[in-house]
Amino acid sequence: MKSDIILAGVGGQGILSIATALGEAALADGLLIKQAETHGMSQRGGAVYSHMRISDQPISSDLIPGGSADLILSVEPMESLRYLPYLSETGYLVTNITPFVNIPNYPDIEKVMEEIHKLPRYIAIDADAIAKEVGSSRASNMVMLGAASPFIDIEFSKIENGIRTIFERKGEAVVNMNLEALRRGRAFAEENR
């Protein structure tokens, strides 16, 4: 088993919460992990990414080689495109469609979506809308993880357990809302893949 994932977003959007939930799931599955993060200056509203590598074999590089990522998981549509040089010929792009506009020259969102639609395999999901439906816009990253989950070779129940672990301290209601967000994201991806 090998899953090379690029997580993408904007500093402050909390992409590392996705990595943490997935990391917990992978550890529980006895898998090996390497995960390179963006810290420092870019966290101030700049483009941020994380290279997350999960495997049942030892992993050498902390960075994913170009053209070999199995998945780009982006919480922002334009950011999903920034990492296309990493996507493999068989890889999936899974992205939220809600733009995060903090620059004056943010492109026309229609043009961004056109580029996404050109790819052979993608899921474009309105994670913010689904998150609001399940109770909080803050659950949108878990909707995104759910939408990506069909393309990650880890048992879904282990990912659910990962979410339980990281939200445990915040009480049962928060855990259940995030689990619901995860399931709704997964259901969307299953229907639209």
Partner 1 sequence: MQKHLFLGVEAIGQGAIDGGMSGVYAYPGTPSTEITEFIQDHPLAEERNIHRKWSANEKTAFETALGMSYAGKRAMSCMKHVGLNVAADAFINAAMTGVNGGLVLTVADDPSMHSSQNEQDSRFFGKFAMIPILEPSSQQEAYDMAREGFALSELTKVPVMLRITTRLAHSRAGVECSEVLDENQLSMPADPRQFILLPAIARRKYKGLLQSQDLFLKLSEESKYNRYEEGEDKSLGIVACGIAYNYLMEHYPNGTCPFPVIKISQYPLPEKLIKRLNLECDELLILEEGAPMVEESLKGFFANGTPVKGRLDGTLPRDGELNPDLIAKALGKEFFQGYDIPKVVANRPPALCQGCGHQDAYVAMNEALADYTKGRVFSDIGCYTLGALPPYESIYSCVDMGASITMAKGAADAGLIPSVAMIGDSTFAHSGITGLLDAVNENSSITVVISDNESVSMTGGQDSSALGKIESICIGVGVDPAHIHTIVPLRKNHEEMVRLFRQEFAYEGVSVIIPRRECIQRASSRKRNQK
Least Å from the CB of residue 160 to partner 1: 19
Q: Between residues 108 and 191, which has the closer beta carbon with respect to partner 1?
A: 108
What x/- string results for residues 139 through 158 when contact with partner 1 is judged by CB under 8 A? --------------------
The footprint of partner 1 on residues 50-109 (CB under 8 A) is: 51, 57-69, 78-79, 81-82, 84-89, 102-108
Q: Between residues 117 and 191, which has the closer beta carbon with respect to partner 1?
A: 117
Return the residue of 5, 15, 23, 154 that touches partner 1, per CB under 8 A.
23
Least Å from the CB of residue 173 to partner 1: 16
Candidates 107, 41, 122, 37; CA nearest to 74 is 122
Q: Report the interface residues with partner 1, using CB under 8 A.
A: 10-11, 23, 27, 30, 32-47, 51, 57-69, 78-79, 81-82, 84-89, 102-108, 111-112, 115, 119
